[in-house]
Structure 1
Amino acid sequence: MASFHQRVFSGMQPTSTLHLGNYLGALTNWVAMQETHECIYCVVDMHAITMWQDPADLKRAIREVTAAYVAAGIDTKKSIIFNQSQVSGHAELAWITNCVVRLGWMNRMTQFKEKAGKDKENASLGLYAYPSLMAADILLYKATHVPVGEDQKQHLELTRDTAQKFNNDFAAQIAGLELGTGDLGFFPLPEPMTQGPAPRVMSLRDGTKKMSKSDASDNSRINLTDDAETIATKIRKAKTDPDALPSEEKGLEGRAEAENLVGIYAGLNGQTKTQVLAEFGGSQFSGFKAALVDLAVAKLSPIAGEMRRLLDDVSHIDAILGRGAERAEAIAAPIMRDVKDIVGFVRRG
């Protein structure tokens, strides 16, 4: 039976400095995936401008996120790293997906409501149409798998719906031009990537809130650019409670800050929370934090150091993005040509 070539696509927005949550929740899995899959990792700068960005800051952030990808262990020879705006197919296919996606589908997207808030009449059309562009990003490479967090699962469902509707709407053209993959159609229906139990990293100041780039307090997060002293200081200042660590995971219930720090230790050390508590159960936080400082500094400060080294040579970062864009374009261009033929555009030969 015919099948689609297995390919992974994912990306991050260059809106501010990446942090520990991005590292444990995504980057560590991306690094592992490149050993078993063909991977395309994008810096989604077109998504970033759905909300206004200072142009100089945006350029800096694009390069910084690229440096974080490489410093975390993504191999530019094994995987493709590029920024979205360098491949015009993203914008071209986004208009076509805009014409396939139904307004009712878009009205159900919860993230627009969250980001636009009460002032949705003043939000950009780009912010509203963001999920359609995300669908185009994925379909442009006929990606079969997408690693997504909880907040993006709805958008991946919309991508699947978009692919299915395109395949159905143009079934005769796809068959007539012999551009499909049997009964599967032209576009695959991308699957969410199974990544295992990635830790949900919460704020160091409030264990009930997710660690976020937008939090006003820099002490709420560990940035991937933080040096060893800053990492240590933030962990020592992290909010805890007066009780000792429990010996079993059930004892973390109702103790958000304790659970968060145990989860961070487990994520950084490749363990489960149960394994961490078997070692530290009964310990006071002073001792546990000291161990967490040592571990976090050992794991994260080399990434910060490598990012600084990479960012000292902007031309090198730009070359990585340029080479990646050429490789991405080589995959996207023939797919985009086929899409234009399917929908009935007259194009240059």
Structure 2
Amino acid sequence: MALSIVRRATRCRLRRGIRPLTTDPPRGVQNPTPRVFSGIQPTGIPHLGNYLGALQSWVSLQEEFSSVLYSIVDLHSITVPQNPDALRDSVLDMTACLLACGVNPAKSCLFQQSQVPEHAQLGWILSCLTSLPRLRHLPQWKMKSESQKNEGSVGLFTYPVLQAADILLYLSTHVPVGDDQAQHLQLTQDLARIFNYQYGEFFPIPRALMGSSKKIRSLRDPLVKMSKSDPHTLATVRLTDTPDEIVMKFRKAVTDFTSEVTYDPEKRPGVSNMVAIHSAVTGLSPEEVVKQSRGLETAQYKHVVAEAVITKLTPIREEVHRLRGDKGFLREVLTRGTHRARELAAPVYDKVCRIIGLR
């Protein structure tokens, strides 16, 4: 009865658009150790939007928090078909990219999700606390299932519960998220509350760390986000693109027929995307970028932005190529990270099992 009341309250909050309160830690979890958790799927080389929107902040969070975990979430990646050999290589490629971007295994725990079995085990327990209507509320299920002609797998439907397990397994207190992941974090918060309500206070309620970078849009369609899965080869700038490839992609980028450089995302999304990228890679404000670009036509400005992106990405690209040549080192980094993650995860999962009566 009590559990159904919590669920009804959760559904009401969603309908009213009210976010769950996350100001105070729950009673019984007194002053939990501040801990950051985030994950990334090994589904191709990260692109410029991934780097500016998430990975840069991952690096800075290592300096702000004493306990940080970053996971290559390969279990999430198999919600859609994967080639086994390609998946194995992608895990190592992602490891190389994260290290090249500045993720430091001495300051954070970098590990492969599937090698810590407690993720899936806690995911099952949390799935038993999750209603079907609650998952149907999540927009990404609708979007992804429609892209698969309404034949999405059970794993695709329930993967937000596994996301919740990823976070709660480490008693995480902070999660860096973008706008498109906010509802998934709300599910995590609600599942922590449901568990705490039914079994007593145990899980901290994780708080969102919202990124400050501008959203990076597709170079071919500035109305949508830059995406690894975009079929148009000129739409996405990847971290391993060569300078020539970057110049070509920006030269072909969609803007408009006005030559002046201005920042107006509503009326001039294409040019504004150029300004947002330029701002993000240089650290200048959009207003400063526009001021510096006075007198330039759009075609000239595209080249300026391309050069700024090349300057930013060249050291990363070179380090990725160097690291990809040492797979033994990459595997060693993941092995050490997995060992540390299991040290943290095992006692939490053991206590969950004891709390609910499995041990």
TM-score computed with the length of structure 2 as normaliser = 0.89
2:24 is matched with none
How many residues align structurally? 330
SS of residue in 1 equivalent to 2:210: coil
CA distance in 2, matches of 1:322, 1:116: 34
1:72-83 → structure 2 map (5 Å cutoff): 72-83=101-112
Alignment equivalent of 1:21, drawn from 49, 70, 95: 49
Local SS of the residue matching 1:11: strand
Identity of aligned residues (%): 41
The one-character-per-residue Cα deviations of 1:238-280 (angstroms, maximum 9, x if unpaired) are 2222323345x34x54111101011000010112211111211
**Partner residue of 1:300 out of 292, 303, 313:** 313
1:64-102 Cα offsets, whole Å, 9 max, x none, are 111111000111100111110011110110010111112
Give the one of 215, 234, 240 matched to 2:230: 215
The answer for the alignment partner of 1:33 in structure 2 is 61
CA distance in 2, matches of 1:278, 1:253: 19
Q: Equivalent residue for 1:325?
A: 338
Match of 2:241 in 1: 226
Aligned to 1:147: 176
- Distance, in Å, in 1 between the alignment partners of 2:260 and 2:292 is 10
* 1:195 maps onto 2:211 in alignment: yes
Gaps of 5+ in 1: 172-184
Q: Gaps spanning 5+ residues in structure 2: where?
A: 1-26
Change (3 A) 1:77 1:279: same
What is the rounded CA distance, in whole Å, between the counterparts of 1:19 and 1:222 in structure 2?
5
SS in structure 2 of the partner of residue 188 of structure 1: coil
Q: Structure 1: which amino acid aligns with 2:109?
A: I
The answer to whether residue 132 in structure 2 is matched with residue 103 in structure 1 is yes
Within 5 Å, which residues of 2 pair with 1:61-80? 61-80=90-109
- 1:178 — aligned with what? none
Distance apart, 1:195 and its partner CA: 3.0
Map of 1:278 onto structure 2: 291
* 2:73 is the counterpart of 1:44: yes
SS at match of 2:110: strand
Offset of residue 130 of structure 1? 0.7
- Give the alignment partner of residue 153 of structure 2, picking from 124, 145, 150: 124
Q: CA deviation at 1:118?
A: 6.9
Q: 1:43–1:83: 8 Å Cα contact kept in structure 2? A: yes
The Cα RMSD (Å) is 1.5
Question: How far did 1:121 drift?
Answer: 5.2
**Deviating runs (4+, > 4 A) in structure 1?**
118-121
Give the secondary structure class of the aligned counterpart of 1:341: helix
Displacement after TM superposition at 1:156 (Å): 0.3
Post-superposition shift, 1:161? Answer: 0.4
Q: Is the 8 A contact 2:261 2:297 kept in 1?
A: no
Partner Cα distance (2:299, 2:145) in 1 = 41
Contact 2:177 2:209 (8 Å CA) reproduced: yes
User: 2:21 maps to which residue?
Assistant: none
Q: What do residues 169-226 of structure 1 show as CA deviations (whole Å, max 9, x unaligned)?
A: 112xxxxxxxxxxxxx210111101332x11111111111211111111110101111
Q: CA deviation at 1:52?
A: 1.1
Aligned partner of 2:35 in structure 1 is: 7
Q: Check conservation: 2:261, 2:271, Cα contact below 8 A.
A: no
Q: Would you say the 8 A contact 2:178–2:210 is kept in 1?
A: no
After alignment, is 236-245 or 18-27 more displaced?
236-245
Aligned partner of 1:345 in structure 2 is 358
SS at match of 2:37: strand
User: What is the aligned partner in structure 2 of residue 241 from structure 1?
Assistant: 256
* Counterpart Cα distance in 2 of 1:120 and 1:169: 38
Q: 1:121 to 1:261 in 2, by over 3 A?
A: closer
> Residues of 1 paired with 2:358 and 2:121: CA distance?
12
Conserved 8 A contact 1:19-1:224: yes
